[in-house]
């Protein structure tokens, strides 16, 4: 029984410490009660890649900072989001004993770097927020409605304070 985080840096614009961010993702998942038989991928990609994903899956133009692709176990879906290929390894039911593929978080460091300047924070601060934000989306949190947005933002800050920020 294991909680596996597959982190990969697939871009060259801004170096990222995939081990560090994978550890943050693991800490957040564990804090949210996800402790075993679960896989998550954390990918760092360039603007071209995230723009293509943003357009294909959200019908939005241009790059964004983070996208989350939860793998849902719905009878009417075939395959895995985002690739929708074949019957794929979607999430499994707890009673089967199989590993649950929770989903993918895709972060664009180039956009994060620009956002960090706009937000007056460090690059690492912005990446940490995006990792936590993406993981919370995989776990079903959203920010479409004000009350949900406030709940999600509060949880992000709690998790960042606990696992990322050191006492100042």
Q: 3 φ, ψ to 5°?
A: -105, 110
Contact predicate 68/74, CB 8 Å: no
The pTM for the full model equals: 0.84
pLDDT digits (tens, 9 = 90+) for 72-127: 654 333 333 444 443 333 444 455 555 688 999 999 999 999 999 999 999 999 99
For position 53, what pLDDT does the model report?
Answer: 96
Q: Give the 3-state secondary structure of residue 61.
A: coil
Question: Buried (b) or exposed (e) across 38-63, using 16+ Cβ within 10 A?
Answer: bbbbbbbbbbebbbebbeeeeeeeeb
What domains can you pick out in the chain, each with its CATH number? 3-163 (3.40.390.30)
Tell me the pLDDT tens digit for each residue of 31-42.
999 988 899 999
Query: Of 41-45, 85-89, 137-141, which gets the smallest average pLDDT?
Result: 85-89
**Which two three-digit tokens encode residue 73?**
């176990």
């Amino acid at each position: 029984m294991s909680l596996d985080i597959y982190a990969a840096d697939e871009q060259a614009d801004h170096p990222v410490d995939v081990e560090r961010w994978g550890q943050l993702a693991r800490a957040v998942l564990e804090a949210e009660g996800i402790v075993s038989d679960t896989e998550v991928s954390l990918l760092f990609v360039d603007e071209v890649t995230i723009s293509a994903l943003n357009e294909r899956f959200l019908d939005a133009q241009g790059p964004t900072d983070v996208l989350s692709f939860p793998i849902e176990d719905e009878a009417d879906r075939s395959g895995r989001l985002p690739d929708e290929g074949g019957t794929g390894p979607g999430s499994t039911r707890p009673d089967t004993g199989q590993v649950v593929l929770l989903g993918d978080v895709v972060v664009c460091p180039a956009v994060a770097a620009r956002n960090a300047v706009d937000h007056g924070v460090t690059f690492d601060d912005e990446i940490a927020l995006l990792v936590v934000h993406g993981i919370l989306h995989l776990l079903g949190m959203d920010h479409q409605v004000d009350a949900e947005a406030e709940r999600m933002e509060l949880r992000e800050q709690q998790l960042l304070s606990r696992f990322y920020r050191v006492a100042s």
